[in-house]
């Protein structure tokens, strides 16, 4: 039989990485033809010649010992999936692979000394994975990354003492993560952040005696957050706020305090 390999009805056709149909002749010419005879692979389902990543993945999960042999394969999906299973000492050869899919797999596996070489990778998805894994002491090298998601990942893992370095980041999402983690006295500096979303987080975390700085915030949602934690004269001020939602929250806070203190 020399015709195309059949697949389950509705499944993706079995073609190779160059778009040619996979046939019985393809299987006979494959370096792993012996596996077919023993049931170790199945064209259209578990095959490293296939263009479909899921079938390639099944092949290497079944035969991880063969991964080292295919790290230089011309098809990027084969190299990327083989990199998941190859021995670690073989991975440095792929650090400059032209395809980011391959380098993303490396970023998930290589040891720290090699990960440091990837902090300036040209692709953002690779750098995000580097930022997720790199040792916290090396994270400052990624503080000025041009991509906000890389910096956001850094903000989530950076040692608390270094978080003020990202307090004035241009991107809101980065500053939100800083606001959730940064401690006093640096937290106090965020009461003047231009984004109300950041100031709301500050209102949730700032020590209650310092909430006076937010009781007159121009954004009513920030004042609403402050009203839920206010004490003393700050609470009295918010009880007369121009926004009914803020006054209601302040009244609920007063009732809570009266109940607590009898």
Radius of gyration of the chain, Cα coordinates, nearest whole angstrom = 28
Cis ω before 174 (30° cut-off from 0): no
- Residue-wise pLDDT for 81-138, tens only, equals 999 999 999 999 999 999 999 999 999 999 999 999 999 999 999 999 999 999 999 9
Q: What pLDDT is stored for residue 12 in this prediction?
A: 87
Q: pLDDT category, 3, cuts 50, 70, 90?
A: very low
The C-alpha atoms of residue 86 and residue 63 are separated, in whole angstroms, by 11
Q: Residue 37, CB half-sphere, CA atoms under 13 Å: how many? A: 6
Cβ(84)–Cβ(56) below 8 Å: no
Kindly state the DSSP code that residue 243 receives in the 8-state scheme: S
The C-alpha atoms of residue 67 and residue 72 are separated, in whole angstroms, by 10
Q: pLDDT category, 260, cuts 50, 70, 90?
A: confident
Cβ(25)–Cβ(13) below 8 Å: no
- Residue-wise pLDDT for 183-205, tens only, equals 999 999 999 999 999 999 999 99
Cβ(211)–Cβ(202) below 8 Å: no
Kindly state the helix (H) or strand (E) to which residue 173 belongs, with its residue range: helix 172-181
The C-alpha atoms of residue 206 and residue 203 are separated, in whole angstroms, by 6
Q: pLDDT category, 36, cuts 50, 70, 90?
A: confident
pTM, rounded to two decimals: 0.87
């Amino acid at each position: 039989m020399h015709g195309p390999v059949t697949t389950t009805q509705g499944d993706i056709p079995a073609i190779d990485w160059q778009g040619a149909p996979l046939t019985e002749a393809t299987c006979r010419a494959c370096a792993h033809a012996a596996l077919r005879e023993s049931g170790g692979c199945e064209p259209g389902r578990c095959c490293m010649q296939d263009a479909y990543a899921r079938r390639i993945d099944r092949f290497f999960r079944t035969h991880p010992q063969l991964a080292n042999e295919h790290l230089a394969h011309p098809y990027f999906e084969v190299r990327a999936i083989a990199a998941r299973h190859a021995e670690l000492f073989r991975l440095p050869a792929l650090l400059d692979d032209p395809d980011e899919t391959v380098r993303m797999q490396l970023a998930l596996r290589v040891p720290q000394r090699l990960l440091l070489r990837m902090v300036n990778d040209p692709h953002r998805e690779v750098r995000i994975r580097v930022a997720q894994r790199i040792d916290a002491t090396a994270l400052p090298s990624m503080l000025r990354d041009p991509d906000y998601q890389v910096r956001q990942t850094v903000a989530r893992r950076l040692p608390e003492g270094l978080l003020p370095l990202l307090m004035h980041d241009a991107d809101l999402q980065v500053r939100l993560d800083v606001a959730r983690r940064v401690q006093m006295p640096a937290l106090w500096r965020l009461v003047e952040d231009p984004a109300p979303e950041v100031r709301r987080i500050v209102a949730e975390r700032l020590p209650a005696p310092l909430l006076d700085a937010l009781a007159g915030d121009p954004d009513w949602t920030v004042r609403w957050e402050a009203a839920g934690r206010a004490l003393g004269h700050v609470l009295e001020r918010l009880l007369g706020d121009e926004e009914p939602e803020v006054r209601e929250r302040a009244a609920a806070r007063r009732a809570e305090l009266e109940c607590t203190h009898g």
